[in-house]
Chain A
């Protein structure tokens, strides 16, 4: 079996992730940051380790500026629904996922409008478009750091610099890039960084969060939920300090134990080494697919401007059939369709048909890339024959 769906969930995980989760369940188990007994304190230490590992990865000085959520979607919803107010305006890239577009549609109903920045046909974004689209009341720029459809990496540092010049705050969705592409919150000029634990950070599903830069006053972001935090218990008013403001209720401590181990794996390997291997894989895959008659790659970016994800279509076969046959006949696991990103597909002119997406990961090999290319070539040859 060849698993090429790491853009959805990375798999397999480094073995230490499951071991950390097993240790948490069998030896610790308690609620972190409440109660004050030894197991509760140990659970709290494990959650703090996850916070510190994330802070180290993104060069954040204060780990308490990392707030954990269930996934990137919850993190993005927190910032989008909690930061702009009615009458204000938001700019977004044309490669956004529905985890951004659906909250923005909801915001529109509440009186906060947005503008989608224009991209070139291949998906590139000229950061100067931000200057043209900004208007009185624009407060926030939202950028998908890496497209979950085409793998294109947007120029967040350059865009962030322009946005700050214009007085905007910058929210970056790093769901596809955290752990795969270097990110430095301060140097890149970002204010909010949303991440998920279950992709390039090798944690389990159900972990994620966001980081707030020192520029952001947490009191200016309304939390999605309020509730118990283990702090200020005498008050029924929800706290306004970090990270408690965004962490109501018992957290997914067992998941965060796994996430801490996953991020430690990334830090020990080094993001640059992970990226080198993944770039080798995607380059090999892209070169092989580009040579197949009837196969078209969509929105493929140059080396240095892409993640390990790519999208293609095959003449004569629907994308859903390609994915089904790859799974059934070749045990190659891909994802077909719109990948929850209709806006990105409109930008790449692949809407509504969608694409077949291959997203290898750090644990894939170049032999597996060759086998996947061979499988696609066999399907394409069959399609050419039946088209006659």
Chain B
């Protein structure tokens, strides 16, 4: 993933949901990656899904269609 791209993360309650979101996004051809939840967002020890800002629309559509509830979309880098 080129570093010039603006990256976002979507957080979930459960890591199982994050894993499922990764699978469905990849099946749709999106370039996504599971990463530990950035410290500036949460002290959780779980996973979140990182994606390109430009893919925000398809990612949120996939979540809505599959009934996966997100706990919010945030910039990947700390402010």
List the interface of chain A (C-beta within 8 A of B).
32-36, 41, 44-45, 47-48, 51, 61-64, 229-234, 239, 241-244
Is B75's beta carbon under 8 Å from chain A? no
Q: Which chain B residues numbered 24 to 45 have a C-beta less than 8 Å away from chain A? A: 34-37, 42-45
The reply to whether A64 and B14 contact each other, CB–CB distance below 8 Å, is yes
The reply to whether A231 and B19 contact each other, CB–CB distance below 8 Å, is no
Q: Place the interface of chain B in its size category.
A: 20 to 34
The reply to whether B13 and A244 contact each other, CB–CB distance below 8 Å, is yes
The reply to whether B34 and A36 contact each other, CB–CB distance below 8 Å, is yes
The reply to whether A36 and B43 contact each other, CB–CB distance below 8 Å, is no
Q: Nearest CB to that of B42 among chain A residues?
A: A234
The reply to whether A241 and B14 contact each other, CB–CB distance below 8 Å, is yes
In the complex, A232→B18 CA distance in Å?
A: 13
The reply to whether B13 and A61 contact each other, CB–CB distance below 8 Å, is no
Shortest distance between the CB of A98 and any CB in chain B (Å) = 31
Which residues does chain B contribute within 8 Å of A242, judged by CB atoms?
14
List the interface of chain B (C-beta within 8 A of A).
13-17, 19-20, 22-23, 34-37, 42-47, 66-68
Shortest distance between the CB of B68 and any CB in chain A (Å) = 8
Q: Nearest CB to that of B34 among chain A residues?
A: A41
In the complex, A229→B31 CA distance in Å?
A: 27
Which residues does chain B contribute within 8 Å of A232, judged by CB atoms?
13, 44, 46
| Chain B residues touching A, majority SS | mixed
CB contact between B19 and one of A45, A62, A244 (< 8 Å): that residue: A45
In the complex, A61→B65 CA distance in Å?
A: 11
In the complex, A14→B44 CA distance in Å?
A: 39
> A45-B23, A48-B16 given as contacts; is B44 within 8 A of A233 (CB)?
yes
Which residues does chain B contribute within 8 Å of A36, judged by CB atoms?
34-37, 45-47
The reply to whether B45 and A230 contact each other, CB–CB distance below 8 Å, is yes
In the complex, A353→B46 CA distance in Å?
A: 53
Closest 6 CB pairs of A and B: A36-B36, A33-B15, A233-B45, A48-B19, A234-B43, A44-B19
The reply to whether A62 and B67 contact each other, CB–CB distance below 8 Å, is yes
Which residues does chain B contribute within 8 Å of A229, judged by CB atoms?
14-15
Shortest distance between the CB of B64 and any CB in chain A (Å) = 13
The reply to whether B43 and A233 contact each other, CB–CB distance below 8 Å, is yes
> A33-B46, A35-B45, A36-B47 given as contacts; is B19 within 8 A of A61 (CB)?
no
Shortest distance between the CB of B22 and any CB in chain A (Å) = 8
The reply to whether B67 and A34 contact each other, CB–CB distance below 8 Å, is no
In the complex, A234→B45 CA distance in Å?
A: 9
Which residues does chain A contribute within 8 Å of B46, judged by CB atoms?
33-34, 36, 230-233
Report which residue of A35, A230, A239 has the largest number of chain B beta carbons within 10 angstroms of its beta carbon.
A230
